[in-house]
Amino acid sequence: MTDPRSLKNGARGWLTDSRVYNLVWLGRWLERFDGMSRMLGAIARSAEDVSGARAFEGSLQSAALAFGVAGPESEASAEDQIDAFGELMSSCLRSARDDATQVGSLELIQELNTLLEEFPGVWSSVEGATGLSSATQYLSSRMDEVTAVCERGWLKSA
């Protein structure tokens, strides 16, 4: 009988419970980063198309509440909220990279390191809805590359 805290990892062997834990959290951090990026992109595109600065700030406030970036009484400006999202997204990337060092391929770790190095420059250039929209489109394309690396590494057909 096998250890119930382990999972079979194809012909390469077993994943112990700690490696499974890292794999789950790797996915969770990447999912959180990608979700925030996509949501902020949708808010920015909506503000560009229809609403305006006031609605943009209101939508950012709602998103900040949903992700725990700001409290319900927060009067933070749009710029402050965008900065807070940037800090949280950067933290998600760092955590994903840390988990990837335990279970990921070298290619995945390098991809996450590159994204972590690029992120501050991309995020610091954000000004208003248009800048946020451009930044999130770029980050979504980079996340597509990270996803492709994961698929090549773990979802190969046997």
Query: For the segment 46-90, what is each residue's pLDDT rounded down to a tens digit?
Result: 887 766 677 788 888 888 888 888 766 667 788 888 999 999 999
Mean pLDDT of 3-25: 65
Residue with tokens 């949280």: 88
Distance CA 35, CA 51 (A): 22
Report angle CA 74, 79, 40 to the nearest 5 degrees: 90
Question: pLDDT category, 12, cuts 50, 70, 90?
Answer: low
> Of 87 and 154, which is predicted with more confidence?
87
pLDDT at 14: 58
Domain-located, residue 143: yes
| pLDDT value, residue 58 | 84
Helix/strand/coil percent split, the chain, to 5: 75, 5, 20
- Which residues pair with residue 7 across a beta bridge? 15
Number of domains in the chain: 1
Host domain of residue 50: 27-154
Using a cut of 0.85, tell me whether the model's pTM lies above it: no
CA atoms 147, 96, 108, 45: torsion sign = positive
